[in-house]
Amino acid sequence: MSLRDSDMRIRGKKTIGRYPRAVAVCAVTMTLTPLVASAQVPRTPWGDPDLGGLFDYSSVTPMQRPQEFADQEFLTEEQAAALEQGAVDRDRAALEAPVQRSEAGDFAGANGHAWQWGLEFGTKVVADRRTSRIIDPSNGRYPETTEAAKADQARRRGFGAILPADDYFDLGQGDRCQALHGLPLSPLPYNNLVRLFQTEDYFVIYAEAFRTWRVAPISDRPHGTLRQRTGDLRAHWDGDTLVVESTLYSHRLQQLSGSGEGLRILTERFTRESDDLIRYEYTVDDPTRWTKPWTAAISLRQTPGPLFEVACHEGNYAVPNILRGARAQDGTPDEPPDEPGIICWDCEPPA
C-alpha cells in the first residue's frame, strides 16, 4: 500500500469509524495500567499497601542540585552509573589506604581506616535518578532563608567546628548522645536504616540513628496541644500513599537545619512502589526559617539487616572530658567561665 493510499484510508469513513474505538481502547489501557501496578504491590491482610520492613535510605544523590547540572532534573543512566562507581571506588580507596600514625593537630579519624570504620555513605542514587533530593523548588535547591534564620545561624557554630568549650552550653546534643535523627529520614554518614511497623490503626517509624521512635495514629482525630520532642503525629491514607503529618515540636531538628518550635508542620509521604522499594517524600513548612515550604524525596530500599542497637555512650564521658581538656589547653583548669558561652549549634536556647 502506498503512502497516498494509506492517507486516503485514514480519511475514509471505515477508518474514521474505527478511530474512536482505538482511542477508547487506548484510554482504557492508560487508565487501568496504574491500577494494575498498584494492585501488584505487597498488601496487608486488611488491604492497605504493606509498608512494613527494614529499609536502607543511604544515597549518593546530594541534597541540593550541583551547579554543573543547572536545569538538568534527572541523571542519564551513564551519569548515574559513573556516580555510583565513584562511590564504590571512594570506599575501596579508603579501605586500602595505608594506616598512618596520627599526629598532633589531626582531627579524630583523619587517617584512612579510622575514618572509614563504621561509616556508610551509600553507593546508590535515588531510584528515579534525580540530580538532587530536593524536588521543590524545581531548581533542586533550598529556598531562601528568613532574616531571623540567618541571624540564628550566625550565632551558632556549625557541626565539626572547633568550639571554645568554655562551658557546657557550647556543646551540642550530639556530645551527649541525645541528638534527634530520622526527623525527617535523610542520609547520614552512618546508621541509615529505618524499621517501619504497621497495623490498621498505627504506623511506627524507628530510625536506627540515635534510636528515634515515632508512633503515628492512623486517625482523623485532631492534633493535641502538647509540644513533644518528636512532635505530635497523625497519619491518613491518600489512595495508596500513607501521609504522616507532625507538628508541635519542642526541640531542634538537626536534619532540618535547626528547625524546631517554629516548624509549623512536617508532612511525610510513604508510597510502596515495588516489593523492595518505598518512595519517601517529605515537605517542610517552617515560616520562621524558610521563605516558602520545600520538598525532598529519597528511596527506601529493603534490606535483610540485621538492625543492631546504636548504643551511643560517648556522652557519658564526653562533656566533662571535653571541658577538662579545654581547661588544660588554655591553662585555666579551675577557672570558671566569666559568662555563658555560645548556644550550642543543635540546642534550643535556654528559657
Q: Give, in order, the Cα–Cα distances in Å from 330 to each of 61, 321, 327.
A: 42, 14, 5
pLDDT, position 139: 97
pLDDT, position 28: 36
pTM of the predicted structure, to 2 decimals: 0.79
- The total number of residues shown for the chain amounts to 351
DSSP bridge pairs for 55: 194, 302
pLDDT, position 15: 33
- Cβ within 8 Å of residue 187, ≥6 positions away: 57, 58, 59, 121, 122, 298
The Cα 186–Cα 61 span in angstroms is: 11
Domain residue spans in the chain?
1-29, 76-124
Per-residue pLDDT of the chain (351 residues; tens, 9 = 90+): 433 333 333 333 333 333 333 333 344 333 333 433 455 899 999 999 999 999 999 999 999 999 999 999 999 999 999 999 999 998 888 778 777 776 766 655 444 455 566 678 899 999 999 999 999 999 999 999 999 888 877 766 554 455 566 777 667 677 777 777 888 999 988 889 999 999 999 999 999 988 889 999 999 999 999 999 889 999 999 999 999 999 998 877 767 766 778 899 999 999 999 999 999 999 999 999 999 999 999 999 999 988 988 877 766 677 778 888 878 877 776 555 544 444 454 555 544
The Cα 303–Cα 291 span in angstroms is: 37
- What pairing do the DSSP bridges indicate for beta strands 277-285 and 294-302? antiparallel
The Cα 323–Cα 182 span in angstroms is: 29
